[in-house]
Structure 1
């Protein structure tokens, strides 16, 4: 009996840590989040020698996110909380990037993009053509149409695109897909903002997008930290390199708020992601 009483007094350190974090102010939580991000960057800096691996990790996380959506739709026959407009935009930038990859730099990224495009096309097909899934799609909440996002991206691509020896159309397409990728998740975030409470599988998908963006942005940040001469020279050589880096940062910050509330929901022990007004 005495041993049971002793065990009952032992505190779970993880539970104690979660309670301590929950008791902190919003400012302290923000600072801890920033510190965790910096710590993550430092770990990647010390453990990953080939920074191209970060891009592979980013693309893998994106592919896994699409896999989560496919599992949800096939197992539950539901598209609740999922934005068709974001999936169309995702398929759009992947298709353009895949064409450019074949024409400009065929490598492992081309294969990963091809797999992710096929998975995304499967999601779009289910949303449009599979009756059981289609009837659960919340069209009235998915109001930010894909062409309102694509148009500005194409316009910006005309003014800021790579200065390489490839044909102009391929350079324009490459810039277009970079900008489109940065904002492709906006319809999904707007839809979730209207719903306030995010469906579980959709939350997992968007969180994996955030993880993907973290790895991708980390690639550029670590290159700068290491003083990559080619990159530093490129950043001072024109608008295009700056726009690429800015697109990465914008995309990361677009998803950062959601990832914060996603982690917070599990730290609270609920697993239910609730979004305040103004997250997007």
Structure 2
């Protein structure tokens, strides 16, 4: 397990995004502006990526993160679909997730390095994470104005991926055997999905105005 400042910073920002998300839902007692479909996709990402959690131990740090991602993701789905279901915006959260899942399954079988269940699922999770935020972005576009905690949550998600790109560059420059083009490509695509969001988020902060997507 390779640790560096960029990897740890990325993980901390990811945890911060989860904090903002759960704080928004629990403290406001609603899930307005949050896409259940994106949360389900992220849960599928963690489940398929961490199938080895019970038999492969890399480090305590890694195991704790896996558990946190799995449990908080499941809890978020519970909050949206059960506890605060009355506030869920199903009218605008309409992207058919199968349009994302099926192509990712096909790509996983094409690009997997090993046809074992864990490796196919891991490859699938890399592809799916790249597009899992799409239902959330489309929901926000359809509603326009973005709540403060929602904007912080999504900004941190994008920043976490951007920091991982820096982590990959650092590892490529310092580790002779480090080579992971699939991860790099999917991670870069995922980060690009946040670029416009970053622009309008920073613009609203600088101008002191409400965050509105065009």
The two structures share one fold, judged by TM-score above 0.5: yes
Which among 187, 191, 205 is matched to residue 266 of structure 1? Answer: 205
Residues 214/102 of structure 1: CA separation in 2 closer, same or farther (3 Å cut) = farther
**Are 1:151 and 2:89 counterparts?**
no
**Are 1:181 and 2:132 counterparts?**
no
Shift of 1:193: 1.1
- 5 Å-filtered alignment, 1:45-56, equals 52-56=4-8
Partner Cα separation in structure 1 for residue 55 and residue 48 of structure 2: 11
Partner Cα separation in structure 2 for residue 110 and residue 117 of structure 1: 11
Shift of 1:122: 1.2
Q: Secondary structure of the equivalent of 2:43?
A: helix
Partner Cα separation in structure 1 for residue 87 and residue 109 of structure 2: 39
Q: Secondary structure of the equivalent of 1:192?
A: helix
Residues 95/249 of structure 1: CA separation in 2 closer, same or farther (3 Å cut) = same
Which among 107, 112, 116 is matched to residue 161 of structure 1? Answer: 112
Partner Cα separation in structure 1 for residue 116 and residue 18 of structure 2: 32
Q: 1:223 maps to which residue?
A: 171
User: Structure 2 regions of 5+ residues with no counterpart?
Assistant: none
What number of residue pairs does the alignment pair up?
212
Shift of 1:105: 5.0
User: Structure 1 regions of 5+ residues with no counterpart?
Assistant: 1-49, 235-240
Contact 1:93 1:178 in 2 (8 A): yes
| Larger Rg computed on CA atoms | 1
Partner Cα separation in structure 1 for residue 4 and residue 112 of structure 2: 22
Cα-Cα RMSD: 1.9
TM-score if structure 1 supplies the norm length? Answer: 0.70
Contact 2:146 2:212 in 1 (8 A): yes
Q: 2:159 maps to which residue?
A: 211
Q: Secondary structure of the equivalent of 1:274?
A: coil
Q: 1:242 maps to which residue?
A: 181
Shift of 1:156: 0.3
Contact 1:98 1:110 in 2 (8 A): no
Contact 2:53 2:66 in 1 (8 A): no
Q: 1:57 maps to which residue?
A: 9
Residues 144/257 of structure 1: CA separation in 2 closer, same or farther (3 Å cut) = same
Residues 115/174 of structure 1: CA separation in 2 closer, same or farther (3 Å cut) = same
Which among 232, 252, 255 is matched to residue 191 of structure 2? Answer: 252
